[in-house]
């Protein structure tokens, strides 16, 4: 473990946020951020190319005069007329099934896309928040993971395209803070779940819910002993917006430290859906992390943030959303 550099932790002055740009705003997390920002009466410009997101995620915002959707690819350019107080850079394929199908795009959006989003923040004098990930810790050898841990990543393994894109994006963000004085922050997001996850995105929770509701066996990777710490989406959004409003540079872990084995998650999904599905044990993906749990001391100390929604309650809400049919059916990624 290593001390975090001063360049990343210096707190700037918090500012009022009147107008925000959300890249990847039509995705799972981006759309929840757009919704919450609008609830707080912040004007929102959503930039998305619908690669892994969907119009359905933001259809409730269309027609709202405070919400504007711009369909664009942030690896081409990022241009937004008018004042901007906050840039939330969330554009990137995020689930393994997506980034394994789109390896070069994932590297481009993490590097070129982040460069463009930082350029926008610099031009506008805006606060910038990078959506980084617990994947920067790789298959961690320190548990739980504090922000000072440098990680254990295989740069040439299949997951390297995502992990290294995010590690590069973090380095670029810190460089913009140091060289250009941009008011940046890095949030390291741990596994998050909730409504608007795609049933075929390959992540464990939506996959298990889809399988359970269809009466199919739940496909548990390996023996299911590997752990994940899952955070309900509303808790995550509250943490990210607290960081955005704080002036703290991060990197800061936001996630729920309540750790569950993948087998436990599968059993809880069967219970929550009342399904008669069984379990099927399948091969574990290459470089799949064995353990994952955030150390959230920093978020609690700096932001007073702690997750509030218990796992079973978040699971019930998510199952309800899938049951209503909103999450079904949809086939994988649009390439």
What is the rounded CA–CA span in Å between residue 56 and residue 58?
A: 5
Under the criterion CB under 6 A, does residue 321 sit at the interface with ligand NAD?
no
What is the rounded CA–CA span in Å between residue 111 and residue 153?
A: 18
Among 8, 114, 192, 296, binds ligand NAD (CB under 6 A): 192
What is the rounded CA–CA span in Å between residue 68 and residue 131?
A: 21
Rounded least distance, CB 137 to ligand NAD, Å? 11
- By CB under 6 A, what part of segment 30-49 binds ligand NAD? 30, 47-49
Rounded least distance, CB 33 to ligand NAD, Å? 9
Burial class (CB in 10 A: 0-12, 13-18, 19+), 286: exposed
For residue 36, whether the previous peptide bond is cis, meaning omega lies within 30 degrees of 0, is no
Token couple for 1: 């473990």
Rounded least distance, CB 29 to ligand NAD, Å? 4
Pick the stretch among 20-28, 62-70, 79-87, 278-286 that binds ligand NAD (CB under 6 A): 20-28
Pick the stretch among 14-22, 185-193, 241-249, 260-268 that binds ligand NAD (CB under 6 A): 185-193
Under the criterion CB under 6 A, does residue 318 sit at the interface with ligand NAD?
no
Per the annotation, the verdict on 176 as an active-site residue is no
What is the rounded CA–CA span in Å between residue 56 and residue 208?
A: 22
Rounded least distance, CB 173 to ligand NAD, Å? 13
- State the number of binding residues for ligand NAD (CB under 6 A): 29
Q: Is 64 helix (H, G, I), strand (E, B) or coil?
A: coil
Q: Which is nearer to ligand NAD, 127 or 188 (CB)?
A: 188
Under the criterion CB under 6 A, does residue 145 sit at the interface with ligand NAD?
no
Token couple for 15: 């500012």
Please name which of 228, 230, 287, 289 lies closest in space to residue 100, comparing C-alpha atoms.
287
* Chain positions contacting ligand NAD, by CB under 6 A: 23-24, 26-30, 47-53, 73-75, 90-94, 109, 113, 131, 133, 189, 191-192
């Amino acid at each position: 473990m290593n001390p975090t550099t001063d360049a990343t932790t210096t707190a700037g002055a918090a500012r009022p946020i009147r107008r925000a740009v959300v890249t990847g705003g039509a995705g799972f997390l981006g759309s929840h951020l757009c919704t919450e920002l609008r609830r707080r009466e912040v004007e929102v410009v959503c930039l998305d190319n619908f690669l892994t997101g969907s119009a359905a995620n933001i259809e409730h915002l269309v027609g709202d005069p405070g919400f504007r959707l711009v369909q664009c690819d942030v690896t081409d350019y990022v241009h937004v007329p008018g004042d901007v107080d906050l840039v939330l850079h969330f554009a990137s394929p995020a689930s393994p099934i997506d980034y394994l199908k789109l390896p070069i795009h994932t590297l481009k959006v993490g590097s070129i896309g982040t460069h463009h989003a930082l350029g926008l923040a610099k031009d506008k004098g805006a606060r910038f928040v990078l959506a980084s990930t617990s994947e920067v810790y790789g298959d961690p050898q320190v548990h739980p993971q504090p922000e000072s841990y440098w990680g254990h990543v295989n740069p040439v393994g299949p997951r390297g395209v995502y992990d290294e894109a995010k590690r590069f994006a973090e380095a670029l963000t810190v460089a913009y803070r140091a060289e250009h004085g941009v008011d940046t922050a890095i949030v390291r997001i741990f596994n998050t779940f909730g409504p608007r996850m795609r049933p075929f995105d390959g992540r464990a929770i939506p996959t298990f819910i889809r399988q359970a509701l269809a009466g199919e066996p739940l496909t548990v990777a390996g023996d299911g002993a590997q752990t994940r710490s899952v955070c309900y989406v509303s808790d995550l959004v509250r943490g990210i917006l607290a960081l955005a409003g704080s002036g703290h540079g991060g990197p800061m872990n936001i996630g729920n430290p309540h750790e569950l084995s993948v087998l436990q998650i599968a059993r809880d999904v069967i219970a929550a859906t009342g399904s008669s599905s069984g379990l099927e044990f399948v091969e574990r993906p290459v470089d799949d992390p064995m353990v994952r749990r955030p150390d959230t001391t920093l978020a609690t100390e700096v932001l007073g943030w702690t997750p509030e929604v218990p796992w079973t309650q978040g699971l019930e809400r998510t199952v309800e959303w899938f049951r209503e049919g909103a999450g079904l059916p949809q086939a994988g990624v649009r390439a």
